[in-house]
Chains A and B, each alone.
Chain A
Amino acid sequence: DQQVKQNSPSLSVQEGRISILNCDYTNSMFDYFLWYKKYPAEGPTFLISISSIKDKNEDGRFTVFLNKSAKHLSLHIVPSQPGDSAVYFCAAARAGGYQKVTFGIGTKLQVIP
Chain B
Amino acid sequence: KAGVTQTPRYLIKTRGQQVTLSCSPISGHRSVSWYQQTPGQGLQFLFEYFSETQRNKGNFPGRFSGRQFSNSRSEMNVSTLELGDSALYLCASSLASGGIGETQYFGPGTRLLVL
Chain A residues at the B interface, C-beta cutoff of 8 Å: 4, 6, 34, 41-46, 49, 89, 91, 93, 97-106
Contact = CB atoms under 8 A, between A and B. Distances in A.
A99 B41 contact: no
Given A43-B90, A99-B98, A104-B42, 14 more contacts: A4-B42, A43-B4, A43-B105, A43-B106, A43-B108, A44-B43, A49-B101, A99-B45, A99-B48, A99-B56, A100-B45, A102-B45, A105-B39, A106-B42
A89 B43 contact: yes
B58 A100 contact: yes
A101 B106 contact: no
Interface of B: 4, 33, 35, 39-45, 48, 55-56, 58, 90, 92, 97-102, 104-109
B98 A98 contact: yes
Consensus secondary structure, chain A interface? mixed
Nearest to B9: A41
B107 A105 contact: no
A46 B104 contact: yes
Given A49-B102, A98-B100, A99-B56, A43 B41 contact: no
26 contacts: A34-B101, A41-B108, A42-B108, A43-B90, A43-B92, A43-B105, A43-B108, A44-B43, A44-B106, A46-B101, A46-B104, A49-B101, A49-B102, A89-B42, A89-B43, A91-B43, A98-B100, A99-B33, A99-B55, A99-B56, A99-B97, A101-B45, A102-B45, A103-B35, A104-B42, A105-B39
Contacts of B99: 99
A105 B40 contact: yes
A5 B92 CA distance: 23
Nearest to A106: B42
A93 B100 contact: yes
A103 B56 contact: no
Nearest to B41: A105
Nearest to A35: B101
A99 B100 contact: yes
